[in-house]
Amino acid sequence: MKKLIVFLAVVALIIGCGSGGNEAPTSTTTTQKKETVAAVDGEKVYKQYCVTCHGLYGDMGASGAANLQESVLEKEERVAVITNGRNVMTGFKALLSEEKINAVAEYTFTLKEQ
């Protein structure tokens, strides 16, 4: 019985501290989409999918992978390579969202600073 009372008290507290439903509904705007892209951690995605061939610092070159520290590709070109692949590199369009691909492309520019 005590557990039920404690449970009900916790539920009442959660409901009492809730937003009350007074917030206006929001729609997806360009600003919100940009915030979503910024929220994607390109480094995390890179480490999950790219580090095997490109290495932690982008210069490993396993299986003929390009040295990302020396790459002169612009962001749009990097996005295209990540999306569609190049030479022996497979494309990631079926595996990663557009936001994640853009975040990884942006992250690869930081590898030159290493």
Please report the pLDDT score of residue 104 as a whole number: 98
Please report the pLDDT score of residue 60 as a whole number: 95
Instruction: Output the CA torsion sign for 105, 109, 112, 113.
Output: negative
What lies within 8 Å, CB to CB, of 51 at 6+ separation is none
Kindly write down the DSSP assignment for every residue of 35-104, as one continuous string.
Answer: HHHHHS-HHHHHHHHTHHHH-TTS---GGG---TTT----HHHHHHHHHHEETTEEP-TTTS-HHHHHHH
pTM above 0.75, yes or no: no
Ordered per-residue pLDDT tens for the chain, 114 residues: 777 776 666 656 577 665 454 444 455 554 544 555 457 999 999 999 999 999 999 999 999 999 999 999 999 999 999 999 999 999 999 999 999 999 999 999 999 866
As beta bridge partners, residue 90 has 85
CB 102 within 8 A of CB 112: no
Please report the pLDDT score of residue 92 as a whole number: 97
Please report the pLDDT score of residue 54 as a whole number: 95
The token pair that represents 49 in the structure block:
């999918």
The domain ranges of the chain are 38-114
d(C-alpha 105, C-alpha 84), whole Å:
13
What dotted CATH number matches 38-114? Answer: 1.10.760.10
